[in-house]
Structure 1
Amino acid sequence: MAHRGLTPVRRWAHLPVVARIAAIYVASRLVTTGLLALAAALSGQASRFGADADVADFVLGWDAQWYWLVAVEGYPAELPLTEAGEVAENAWAFMPIYAYAARIVGLPLGSWGAGALLISLVAGYFACIALYRLLHDRLGSAAALWAVAFFASGPLAALFQVGYAEALFAMMLLFSVDAVQRRRYGILYLLIPLMAFTRPGILAFALFLGLHGIARWLRRGREPLPGRDIAHIIALGALATVTGFAWQVIAGIVTGDPGSYLATELAWRRAWGMGESGFVPFQGWIEASSFWFAHWGMPGHWGYVALALLVAGIAAALLFAPSVRRLGIDVRLWSASYLLYLLAVFFPQSSTFRLLMPLSPLWGAVVPRGRGYRIAVLVLCLLGQWVWILHVYALGNTFWQVP
């Protein structure tokens, strides 16, 4: 009753933060649903999904099929081989938590896909809450909410509505970075193992914890560093490192091949004509820089120059850009850790864009001051989302259209 005479803006300001985030998130999901429906209508015979595709097909498309296979059949005790005798693509590339959680949640709903969709939707909402918590103290409430809007509506927002583990991992990751930023280390003893068995990336978090510990040591004159915090940082770093390699060990024990996990990951890289020499850190990006420039009809060595400029530019932005610096040292250290991890272990291809979701805290760096500019950024986010959905779902039928 007291709010009846207020303007819409003031009514919005009087809503609890979780309600404002919910309104942003629901509106974003309705837009994404509309874009997915439009993509289904545009899907033709050349598309992976065919001319009679619907939104449910997209929910269960691409890698969602692998998670479903894990939930239904588990992991192979004997690695499948190609005709050339090399390890073929198989389920060991996909972590178990999302797959089995979707199976459990989907039981009363009647299908694995329904469970996967519900988990992604709910995890996406809580990821928005975690992002707001992470950015609020640095940016203020209004800017943090705009960052949430960009995150919920951005180019990768369809991942909140398909059978991929990204939303679940993002939720846990954002709460984890927020816990580190607030020096509430205890919850990480639960979150780190959960992240480690949801999707790859926990080794980047181990590096982040190491850099966080160094930063706190160097800043101990301005911020006390009690012994219990030192113990937590060391123990959690060790936990993240051990769990980061645990899946490789488990795969090796089950299959009897210690290199089974790496061979499985390289099977996807071989589809691009790479990976025959085995895994070498940083080699993927070096090879890819030449591969892509040659593919685009340019001299391959230009790719090396572009890669060097990209790395230098990102490093400079993380170190010196005022919009990034205001996010705080921990967001910057996490971003640097994850980017270094990607540089070390991945071969850049179409899925690389999806792998950028753990960098979502950086949405806070693109929140401009003026409302008009913020609306313009939001429009660009929605445009990027449509381009992504169109190419990987409505038109997805070739090697560079894999989400």
Structure 2
Amino acid sequence: MAHDILISGIRRWARLPVAGRIAIVYLLARLITTGLLLLAAHASTPQSRFGLSPSMGQLVLGWDAQWYWWVAENGYPSQLPLTESGEVAENSWAFMPVYAFLAKGAGLGEWGAGALLVSLVAGFFGCLVLHRLLRDRIGSSAAMWAVTFFACGPLAALFQVGYAEALFVLLLLIALDLVLRRRYAPLYLVLPVMGFTRPGILAFALFLGLHGILRWMRRRAEPLPARHIVHIVALGAFATVIGFAWQAIAAVVTGNPSAYLSTELAWRRNWLTDPSAQFVPFEGFVRGAEFWMGQAGLPSWSGWLLLIVLVAGAAALLLRSPHVRRLGPEIRLWSASYLLYLLAVFFPQSSTLRLLLPLTPLWGALAVPRSRLYRWGMLGLCLLAQWIWILCMYGLAQTFWQVP
């Protein structure tokens, strides 16, 4: 009897449209995340950033959400705030406008409600596009599991708080899907929105350049019309211009040519007592490796060695892993472009985990193995990691490494 009920349930599930199955998975995932956030709120103490038993609304508006709210309500300063020592202080120029103002509009003036709505909706549509992106490469069943891992993953709380990541990932997945389907024209509309949602568009410019080289090398196997060449070159240039546009806007408004980069560097003073006065590509990860090894009482060279191992390991996975190779060259090129971008511009700290969310298509590689035990075990690990992340960032939230 139980076996017949199970078989009947499986058949009914299989008959549901893909969008319906994704909606059910996403709804269940959001209920789980809500429960974990409530548990984290219950675990919060007076020593936590959120205080004793914070409400869900306080969690939605926590951390960087405050900056996006400030942008929506007050805009950007024309005069950069300074520290007592005369350096540029943390300010809203580090946070781009699309998510901030979209949340304000969606909430009809109630920014927190709008932020929650935008993140929730973006996460759901991101799941739909992720399945579309992967299904022709790894099959519909594996693509559904990739969506499940994404919806329930370690950073799934970002679908329910006031962060721009869910919206950015949705736009990114749409852009990748358009490139994979050789539909370049709509990218002229997607890229500006993506570029003013959060940093990362320069990585996409690099990806477009690599994509163009790949298509040129394979032009005998796949025809490369002249119009595609024009689109790829123009879009790469367009993405590059967008990538530097925010810096130019900040410079014009404030009268300070280095306003944006100085603002970003201001956050490094939370970890480094002697951060560089000027931005130097790749320095952030080198200094970060030294810093974290120093925190562990280890010499600087061990940090350099660890960094080399991590870079080599990531390169080996993208080049050699059969499961990653199943995803196709474009997804691998995007992943390599984004990781190189992170190495070039960011300082590694607890927020780096959040910054890895644009690597979402790689969930497909983890969904390829067909073993039921493996897939359910991976889902369990996703939920466990999600609980640890939520507890640290929204429950305990006491020390410098507990910053989402």
Indicate the TM-score class for this superposition, using the shorter chain for normalisation.
over 0.9
Alignment correspondent of 1:260: 259
Cα distance between partner residues in 2 of 1:297 and 1:58 = 34
Task: Name the residue aligned to 1:291.
Answer: 291
Instruction: Report if the CA contact (8 A) 1:41-1:54 is conserved.
Output: no
Give the equivalent residue in structure 2 for 1:307. 307
Residue 277 of structure 2: aligned partner: 277
Deviation sequence 1:210-243 (CA, Å, 0-9, x none): 0000000001111000001001101110110000
Q: State the distance in 2 between where 1:373 and 1:219 align.
A: 36
Separation in structure 2 between the aligned mates of residue 209 and residue 275 of structure 1, nearest angstrom: 33
Aligned pairs for 1:3-402 (under 5 A) are 7-107=8-108, 111-273=110-272, 274-367=274-367, 368-402=369-403
Question: For structure 1, which segment, 52-61 or 224-233, has the greater mean C-alpha deviation from structure 2 after superposition?
Answer: 52-61
The letter of the residue matching 1:134 is L
Task: Tell me which stretches of 4 or more aligned residues in structure 1 moved more than 6 Å.
Answer: none
5+ residue gaps, structure 1, are none
Letter of the 2:377 counterpart: A
Structure 1 residues 291, 6: closer, same or farther in 2, change over 3 A?
Answer: closer
The answer to whether the 8 Å contact 1:205/1:334 transfers is yes
Alignment-mate amino acid for residue 382 of structure 2: C
Once the 2 structures are TM-superposed, how far is the Cα of residue 272 of structure 1 from its aligned partner?
A: 1.0
- Name structure 2 gaps, 5 residues minimum: none
Structure 1 residue matching 2:185: 3-state secondary structure? helix
Give, as a single letter, the amino acid of the residue that structure 1 aligns with 2:286: I
Contact 2:289 2:304 survives alignment (8 Å): yes
> What do the CA deviations read for 1:11-61 (whole angstroms, capped 9, x no partner)?
111111111110110000000000000000110011000013122111000
State the TM-score, normalizing by the size of structure 2: 0.97
Q: Distance in 1 between matches of 2:388 and 2:185?
A: 41
2:267 maps to amino acid? W
Q: Distance in 2 between matches of 1:275 and 1:237?
A: 32
| Contact 2:43–2:53 (CA under 8 A) maintained in structure 1 | no
* Displacement of 1:277: 3.5
Residue 158 of structure 1: how far off its partner (Å): 0.2
Return the letter of the residue paired with 2:190.
L
- Once the 2 structures are TM-superposed, how far is the Cα of residue 329 of structure 1 from its aligned partner? 0.4
Using the size of structure 1 for normalisation, the TM-score is 0.97
Paired with 2:325 and 2:162, the residues of 1 have a C-alpha distance of 34
Contact 1:87 1:267 in 2 (8 A): yes
Q: Secondary structure at the match of 1:276?
A: coil
In structure 2, C-alpha distance between the alignment counterparts of 1:136 and 1:232, rounded to whole Å: 26
Q: CA deviation at 1:6?
A: 7.2
Identical-pair percentage: 65
| Alpha-carbon distance between aligned partners in 2 of 1:65 and 1:242, rounded to the nearest angstrom | 28
Partner letter of residue 66 of structure 2? Q
Is the 1:210–1:233 contact (alpha carbons within 8 Å) kept by the matching residues of 2? yes
Q: Deviations over 1:81-109 (max 9, x none)?
A: 000000000000000000001111111xx
Deviations 1:173-210 (A, max 9, x none): 01111111111111111110001000000000000000
TM-superposed deviation, 1:5: 12
- Contact 1:270 1:276 (8 Å CA) reproduced: no
